[in-house]
Structure 1
Amino acid sequence: MSRTTRRWMLGPMLAMSATAVFVGGSVSAAEASSVTTTVAGPLNVRVAATTKSAAAGSLKNGAKVTLVCKVAGEKIRGRVRTTNQWDRMSNGRYVSHGYVRGANSLPTCPAPAPAAPTSLGAVAGGPNGSMTPAQFVAASVVPAQQGQREFRVPASVTIAQAILESGWGRSGLTANDRNFFGIKCFNGSPGTIANGCHSYATYECLPACKPTTATFRTYASAVDSFRDHGYFLWANSRYVPAFAYTGNADQFLFQIWKAGYATSPTYVTNVTALMKQYNLYQYDLR
C-alpha cells in the first residue's frame, strides 16, 4: 500500500492495508549464480540488511567476497554507490551493495524456509471467520509466534492486525482467499509465499473516495497469510526503523504506521486497543 492510499473492501466495509529487513534464509538455490568480487572498504559485515543489526566482522578495502543474492534493506551511501540493496554472502551474512564493486546482476534472495512449528496440529488450521473472538485469538497464536521467530514481528501486533484487517476473518478477501492482512499483488506477482492474485472492487481514498479495483494476494491457508505478513514487513526497506523496537510491540506498531502501513489517523489507536482488550502482549516471545 502506498503512503497516501487506503483501500476499503466492498461487502464488509473493512480497511485493507498492504504494505517487510531480511535476515537469514536458505541460499542453496542461489549458490549456482554466486559472484566473487571485491569491496571498497573498510566496512562492517552485518547479520541483517541494516546497520542496526549486530556486526559480524569487518572487511578491508579490496577484500574478496562471494555473494549469492540480494535483498532490500536500509539505504546506505557507500563508496561505490547509494542504494538500499544489500548482498548476502555465502556465509549468510550481509554487506551493503553501496560498497561492492560490480556484482550488479545478483538474483533476489528467496523467502526463508519456514521455522519448525511448535505444534503441527495448531499451525495447520489457523483462524477463520466462523470462530468466536476467543477461538480466533487462540488459533492465531501459533502462526503469529512462528512469524515472530522467523521475521521478528511481535506476535501481539500480528494478531491484532489480523483481527482488524480481516474483521475477525469475515471479510470477503479473507473468507474467499485467506488473505488476513490485505496484502496486494505488485506488478501481477503474488510474491514467494502466496499462491495467486484476485481482483476486488474497492474504494480508494486520496483523500476523496472513489470506486476502483485492486489485485490482492491469495493463499492456500491462513498460516501462509500470517507468514507472508511477517516476510512482507521484514523484506520491505520502508519498515527498517520498526525493527529497532521488536521488544516493544506498541512502538513497533507506531513505527510501521509512521512508515506508511496505514494512513488512518486512528489506526494505531484501534490496533493497540485490541492488543490491550485481549491481552495479546502475553503472546510476544521474549
Structure 2
Amino acid sequence: MLRSLKQYVLVPALALAATATTLVVTTAPADAAVISVRVNGALAARNGAANWFTQTRKIKNKQKVTVTCKVSGQYLRGNVRRTAQWDRTAIGDFISHAYVSGNPKLPNCAPAPAPTTAAPVATPVAAVPMGPTGTMTNAQFLAASIPAAQRSQRDTRVPTSVTLAQAILESGWGRSSLSANDRNFFGMKCFNNAPGAYAAGCKSYSTQECNAAGVCSTTVATFRTYATATASFTDHGMALKNLSRYAAAFNYLNDPNQFVAEVHKGGYATDPLYTTKLVALMQKYNLYQYDLAL
C-alpha cells in the first residue's frame, strides 16, 4: 500500500513549538496552575494561540509560569500530546498545552468584556481564525483546517486525511477565488440554483471539467458560497455521508487511499488523476496522522 512507504515530510507549522519542551504541572491556588518548565531548550510564548503569532518571550529552562485559563487554537503534535488547547499565562500570552506534562483542569478563558466610555479600550489578543482563509501560508492553511476536518470526522466518519487532502487540492491551499472570496474549499456546486442546507448562496465561476476520454476544457459552473469556512467543511462531510453515490467509500474508513478512490468513482471530480493527486498529498504531508480513532 502507498501509505506504508512512509515517504512524507512534516509540515513546518506543525513542528515542535520548542526544542524537546515538556511542562510539568504542580498544584496551584485558586483557578490557576503553576507550571514548572523542564526543557532542553527554550519555550516560545506567543501573543495568540498559534505558532504564527508573534513571539512575546522565551521561557527559560525550569522557569515557573502561572496559567489562568485555556483557549482553542492551533492544533499541535507535541512531545506530550496532540491538542488544540493553548494555556493563557498570567501576563496574557499563550503556551501550547501539547507540551504540558499532566492535564490540569483549567477554566475556559472568558470573552473580553465590552468596552465602555468610562475606561480605555484595551487591545485584545489576536484570535485564531475559525478555519482557513485565503491569505495563509501552506503550513498555516493546514494547521487551521485540522480542527474543522476532525470535527467533520466525528460527525460524518469521513477520514480527516481525506478532508484535508480535498481541501488542499480543490482550493489550491485556500488561494482560489472561490475559496478566498466565498469560503468554498471543496468545489461544492449549486444544483438548480439551490445552495443547500449549509451554504449562504450561489455564484458562477470558471472551472475545468474533463470528459470520459480525459480531455479537459474550461466551462462555467455555479458554486456554493459560505458565510464561514467551517460551514464549507460541514457541508462537504454531510454530502459524502448522505449521498448514496458515495456510500461505497464508507466501507474503507480505515483505508483513506481507497476511500478517496471510491469518492472519485462516485463522481466527485472529473479529473482522471483525482485519486492519484489526493493520495500524493496525503503521503507527502502525512495527513493520515490526523485521522481520529473513532
- Asked if Structure 1 and Structure 2 have the same fold, meaning a TM-score greater than 0.5 normalized by the shorter chain, the answer is yes
Which among 128, 136, 141 is matched to residue 141 of structure 2?
136
* Cα deviation, residue 203, structure 1: 4.4
1:163 corresponds to 2:168: yes
* Cα deviation, residue 264, structure 1: 2.1
Whole-angstrom distance in 1 between the partners of 2:128 and 2:264: 28
1:221 corresponds to 2:228: yes
Match of 2:224, SS state, is strand
Instruction: Give CA deviations for 1:129-178 in whole Å, capped at 9, x if unaligned.
Output: 22122111111110000000001100000001100100000001111100
Whole-angstrom distance in 1 between the partners of 2:128 and 2:233: 11
1:260 corresponds to 2:267: yes
Whole-angstrom distance in 1 between the partners of 2:240 and 2:234: 10
1:272 corresponds to 2:276: no
Match of 1:125, SS state, is coil
Q: Which residue of 2 aligns with 1:193?
A: 198
Whole-angstrom distance in 2 between the partners of 1:138 and 1:199: 29
Greater RCO (CA < 8 Å, at least 6 residues apart)? 1
Whole-angstrom distance in 1 between the partners of 2:229 and 2:178: 12
The one-letter amino acid paired with 1:201 is S
The one-letter amino acid paired with 2:167 is A
* Cα deviation, residue 124, structure 1: 5.5
CA RMSD of aligned residues (A): 2.2
Q: Contact 1:201–1:212 (CA<8 Å) still a contact in 2?
A: yes
Q: TM-score, normalised by structure 2?
A: 0.54
Whole-angstrom distance in 1 between the partners of 2:135 and 2:177: 13
* Cα deviation, residue 221, structure 1: 1.0
Which structure would you say has the larger Rg?
2
Q: Which residue of 1 aligns with 2:153?
A: 148
Identity %: 60
1:285 corresponds to 2:292: yes
Q: TM-score, normalised by structure 1?
A: 0.55
Match of 2:219, SS state, is strand
> Please, which runs of 5 or more residues in structure 1 have no aligned partner?
1-117
Which among 232, 238, 243 is matched to residue 231 of structure 1?
238
1:184 corresponds to 2:194: no
> Please, which runs of 5 or more residues in structure 2 have no aligned partner?
1-83, 86-107, 110-126
- Listed as ranges, the matches of 1:112-123 within 5 Å are none
Whole-angstrom distance in 1 between the partners of 2:216 and 2:275: 22
Alignment length (residue pairs): 169
* Cα deviation, residue 183, structure 1: 0.5
Match of 2:190, SS state, is coil
